[in-house]
Chain A
Amino acid sequence: MTSAPEPVRRALRAIAIYALLLVAAVVTLGPFLLSAMTAFKTPAQFAQQSSLAPPSPWTLDNFMNILTGPAEFGHAIGVTVLVAVFLVVFQLLFSILAAYAFARVDFPGRDALFWVYLSTLMVPAVVIVIPLYLMMTQLGLRDTFWGLVLPFAFGSPYAIFLLREYFRGIPQDLIDAARLDGANTLDILVEVVVPLSRPIIATLILITAVSQWNNFMWPLVITSGNNWRTVTVATASLQSQFNGNWTLVMAATTLALVPLVALFLVFQKQIVQSIAITGFK
């Protein structure tokens, strides 16, 4: 045993722990900071100096280039926002309706149907992407807005599952009281259930928006050309188009990541909580 007194040992241990945790934090944040730094460099500086050197001079040219140039990255951002907003609204609306039916309406076949809904969670994206592509092609919806959103607009089994759990915790008395006052099912949903479920709805809005912003495989398959390309697809094609032109490519990844980092900084508590509740995917 060492003879160092207890407080010293304790302080040394705390320092060692902090050192370890800080190294991990640097490794976590490093890629974000280094790639953002590269996005602000001139191609000339990037070619001549170490890739770790800070930008000098700072330039916005890379961002201007991809936003307004032939890559039409600004357009891709617009498309992605449109898709995310559309799917947040409709997925949530239809999921709330279904979740209420499963939680509060007693109809024949309810439990069996709920089991079917849950079992579809096992189906991986890459399995249904092939048939969905064929279906959308048949419907003439390839490379259209509807092709992008239609398969996901009618609700998500996962959201339905989470909402149902939440709705089941709402006291039946409140619903009965509203019904005695003459409210129908839709009134009850709008006036009682939804206001009481704000936390889970906020969580689902965040999850849906983030996962649509991040979504890659389906937009990659169903879009071609610039018209309906999302941010992730535009980033991937910039990478293959400007292979080695890293200042441009890092401007693209920075634009793809900044909204998420900003959202994370603002809503960190809610996001961390919703990952804990839902697994977030």
Chain B
Amino acid sequence: MTARAHRRRNALTGYALLAPSLFGLICFLLFPVLVVLWLSFQQWDLISPARFVGLANYESVLSDPIFGNSLLVTLAFVLIVIPIQTGLGLLAASLLTRGLPGSLVLRTIYVLPWICAPLALGVVWKWIFAPTGGALDAILGTRIEWLTDPNLALPAVCAVVIWTNVGYVTLFFMAGLLNIPAHILEAAKLDGAGSVAMFWRIKLPLLRPTMFFVLVTSLISAFQIFDQVYALTGGGPEYRTDLVASHIYSEAFQLFDLGRAAVMAVVLLAILVTVTVAQQLYFRRRTTYDLSS
């Protein structure tokens, strides 16, 4: 077989193997993104025909205080959830990597909520938080309206998400901690480092790649939280838990203002692309600890 025939055969094989997934990618991922961009310039309620309105949707959404509030709520959510779940995960991981018996069983228990349906867990927590017949107020012996009190609703939603994610974060920090070569820890011990100094000066810096991975994945998923909000609060009370993904959903499928929903989707996409690209750039120029020698 000549080289050219070989190349042609490879091209044919390659694209034949790729055909189904490429079809799916174009029809159900790339084309929809274009449709969202197109929609963002239209006014459409699904009943009367779509009408081109230029930048009107952008003006309306970007000056809309309720959408601004939704972005702020999302920011507050991220700023509450990520530090707490990272801290708790780090704590659990450092307690679970001391070689105490039962550590692996406990780790398994902590991971359980992560694989469960967020919607079902959200409904379970809705019951736990319920003032009448709920579990939490029965335990505390009080009557607190966790999900309808404007000051408590967002912290309650955050608590559910943290509860779901801590095991996942713990898992990665455990792997990171167990990857630190023993000779480094022994050397630090010989130099007289106590366990606190050891954690802050040796382990934490060496965990930087893990920390980075955990922070980035948590950040990206925090911007997309939908199921728990749907089950717990529906965005209320007074828009206090109106996270951006859930706001986009209600704009599109409850208010049927598709043009405005599309603009919000474009804003969310822009935020996530920025986060991901920034992460890539940061990763590329970040110095790594070479432990091979």
Interface residues of A, Cβ cutoff 8 Å to B: 14, 17-18, 20-21, 24-25, 27-32, 34-35, 38, 46-47, 50-52, 94-95, 97-98, 100-102, 105-108, 110, 113, 116-117, 120, 122-135, 150-155, 157, 160, 185, 210, 213-214, 216-217, 220-221, 231-232, 235-236, 239, 244, 246, 249-250, 252-253, 256-257, 260-261, 263-264, 268, 271-272, 275-276, 279-281
**Cross-chain contact of A124 among B10, B11, B245 (Cβ < 8 A):** B245
Residues of A within 8 A of B291 (CB): none
A269 to B13 alpha-carbon distance, docked (Å): 37
Question: Which residue of chain B has its CB nearest to the CB of A93?
Answer: B20
Contact A185 B17 (CB under 8 A): yes
Interface of B is mostly: helix
Contact B112 A97 (CB under 8 A): no
Contact B109 A123 (CB under 8 A): no
Contact B13 A155 (CB under 8 A): no
Interface size classification for chain B: 35 or more
Contact A98 B18 (CB under 8 A): yes
**Cross-chain contact of A253 among B33, B96, B102, B124 (Cβ < 8 A):** B124
Residues of A within 8 A of B177 (CB): none
Interface residues of B, Cβ cutoff 8 Å to A: 10-11, 13-15, 17-18, 20-25, 27-33, 35-36, 39, 92, 95-96, 98, 100, 102, 106-121, 123-128, 130, 132-135, 138-139, 163, 166-168, 171-172, 175, 217, 221, 223-224, 226-227, 230-231, 245, 248-249, 252-253, 258, 261-262, 265-266, 268-269, 272-273, 276
Residues of B within 8 A of A157 (CB): 25, 29
Residues of A within 8 A of B114 (CB): 275, 280
Residues of B within 8 A of A244 (CB): 130, 132-133
Interchain residue pairs A-B with the least CB separation, the first 8: A154-B24, A107-B14, A155-B21, A131-B35, A131-B32, A101-B17, A256-B120, A214-B117
Residues of A within 8 A of B217 (CB): 279
Contact B20 A154 (CB under 8 A): yes
The 10 listed contacts between A and B (C-beta, < 8 Å) are A21-B95, A21-B96, A25-B106, A35-B124, A107-B11, A108-B11, A130-B36, A131-B33, A157-B25, A250-B127
A119 to B145 alpha-carbon distance, docked (Å): 43
- Given A126-B224, A128-B33, A272-B171: A154 touches B265 (CB 8 Å cut-off): no
Contact B128 A127 (CB under 8 A): no
A155 to B21 alpha-carbon distance, docked (Å): 5
**Cross-chain contact of A94 among B24, B115, B118, B258 (Cβ < 8 A):** B24
**Cross-chain contact of B28 among A34, A128, A280 (Cβ < 8 A):** A128
Question: Which residue of chain A has its CB nearest to the CB of B117?
Answer: A214
Question: Which residue of chain A has its CB nearest to the CB of B88?
Answer: A24
Contact A52 B138 (CB under 8 A): yes
Residues of B within 8 A of A110 (CB): 14
Residues of B within 8 A of A18 (CB): 100, 102
Contact A150 B36 (CB under 8 A): no
Residues of B within 8 A of A231 (CB): 117, 120
A97 to B14 alpha-carbon distance, docked (Å): 9
Contact A97 B33 (CB under 8 A): no
